[in-house]
Amino acid sequence: MTAAKVAVTIEADLLREVDQWVAAGEFPNRSRAVQAGLVRLREERAKRHALLRELARLDPAEEHSLAEEWLAGETRWPSY
């Protein structure tokens, strides 16, 4: 995969923390640490978007019916 150089501004405290990770051997260099963070952010966003897509597919009436069935005799479903 090709790589491109970019210039970014990072808070001094965060950069010190990244440098500590590099010094501890968690990452070979700053670039890899930042890349790892961006990859993780991308993965988390993908998971969140997938969850939102699935939630959008839910039928509120069907979910209400299933909840009523499950809670039958235990408690009354609150009206909103």
Q: What is the pLDDT along the chain (80 residues), one digit of tens a residue?
A: 798 999 999 999 999 999 999 999 999 999 999 999 999 999 999 999 998 888 888 888 888 887 777 666 666 667 77
Cα 41 to its chain centre, rounded Å, is: 6
Q: Is residue 50 part of a domain?
A: yes
CA angle 55, 61, 65 (to 5 degrees): 110
What distance in Å separates the CA atoms of residue 34 and residue 3, rounded to the nearest whole number? 13
Instruction: Count up the domains in the chain and report the number.
Output: 1
26 domain residue, yes or no: yes
Residue 57, pLDDT score = 87
Question: pLDDT at position 61, please?
Answer: 87
Q: What pLDDT shows up at residue 29? A: 97
pTM over 0.85: no
Q: Domain span at residue 45?
A: 12-71
